[in-house]
Structure 1
Amino acid sequence: MDRTEALEEKIAHLTRAVEDLSDVVAAQGREIDRLTRLAAMLAEREAEREAGLGDAPAANVRPPHW
């Protein structure tokens, strides 16, 4: 194998590695976007829940009739 063929082979392997890594990064970006939306939704849901419980008695407080 001459030097040119060895370089071409190395370039082919490196190109494949870059493409594979690009696919991984793209998938991770999609997952990060999904998890960011989920975290925002959960934070909003928790804020709504806390806002709705502002007037409700705490779970560990005895009711006034006891």
Structure 2
Amino acid sequence: MNTDQRLTELEIKLSYAEDLLDELNLTVYRQRQQIDTLMAQVAALQQQAPEPGSAPRNPAHELPPHY
């Protein structure tokens, strides 16, 4: 195997490695966005939850959503 062939093969491998790295970075970025969204949703749900030890809600005193 001569030097030109070896260099060409290394360049091809490098190209594939760079593409894989870009794809992995994009995946990590998307997952971070999903985690941030889920954390915000959990925080909102925690704010809606009643405090421990407080009186339970009585659904009879609440209006249905169509009123």
Q: What's the offset of the Cα at 1:21?
A: 0.2
User: Which residues in structure 2 correspond to 1:19-30 (within 5 Å)?
Assistant: 19-30=15-26
CA distance in 2, matches of 1:41, 1:11: 45
Secondary structure of the corresponding residue to residue 48 of structure 1: helix
In structure 2, the residue matched to 1:54 is: 50
CA distance in 2, matches of 1:32, 1:51: 29
Runs of 5+ consecutive residues of structure 2 not aligned to the other structure: 57-67
Q: What's the offset of the Cα at 1:55?
A: 4.4
User: Which has the higher relative contact order, 1 or 2, with Cα contacts under 8 A spaced 6 or more apart?
Assistant: 2
In structure 2, the residue matched to 1:42 is: 38
| Structure-2-length-normalised TM-score | 0.73
Runs of 5+ consecutive residues of structure 1 not aligned to the other structure: none
| Structure-1-length-normalised TM-score | 0.74
In structure 2, the residue matched to 1:11 is: 7
CA deviation map 1:23-56 (0-9, x unaligned): 0000001000000000000000000000110348
* CA RMSD of superposed structures (Å): 2.1
Give the % identical residues: 13
Find runs of 4+ consecutive structure 1 residues off by over 2 angstroms.
54-58
